[in-house]
Amino acid sequence: MKKRFLLLTLEFLAITVPLGWVWIEWGRTFYLKVFVELATPIFIVLGVTELKAQLVIDHFINYVPFLVLMVITPTLTVRRRAVGTAIGFVIIFLGHILLASVAFVASSKYGESQEAFNTLFPAFLFNDSLPFILWAIISAGYLKRVVVGVRGPRSSQS
């Protein structure tokens, strides 16, 4: 079990580091353009008149850990992996819309004050944890087996 965990950790790092670099160098600029195109109609409905890209762009990287976790998780069927990744990407995109909307409201209402940060912080936490939450839901069966393996089987005698 420890050996498998170490191997998965190394796989995660070996894929995440170069993908993260590619995202930072090229992906986030491309994604921001796509995001603006796709999200603008939603922002209009929500009353968001300005995208505070400088506040949120660094938090749009959460596609990377989600994708890597979906790729390296053993025991996921191809269908579950593909459908889970697609649905996860849509949910992450909607999370980015939520984050950008909160950033707009916080900066419009509070400028660059501590109160703006206090308003944004929970949105950052939610956004940044979203890929791990989604992965845990999609991979619940695998995680249950891992947790039982670490804890050991429950005995009927207490």
Q: Rounded mean pLDDT of 144-157? A: 67
Burial of 100 (0-12, 13-18, 19+ CB in 10 A): buried
What single DSSP character describes residue 152?
-
Q: How far is CA 107 from the centre of its chain?
A: 23
Does the structure show a pLDDT above 90 at 145?
no
Q: Residue for token digits 């191809």?
A: 78
Please enumerate in sequence order all residues whose Cβ is within 8 A of that of 6, keeping only pairs 6 or more positions apart, or say none: none
**How many of the other CB atoms lie within 10 Å of CB of 103?**
24
Identify the pLDDT of residue 156: 53
Residue pLDDT, tens place only, 87-119: 999 999 999 999 999 999 999 999 999 999 999
Identify the pLDDT of residue 155: 53
Residue pLDDT, tens place only, 2-57: 788 888 889 999 999 999 999 999 999 999 999 999 999 999 999 999 999 999 99
User: Whole-prediction pTM value?
Assistant: 0.88
How far is residue 123 from each of residues 54, 56, 82, 104, 133, measured CA to CA in Å?
15, 10, 27, 12, 14
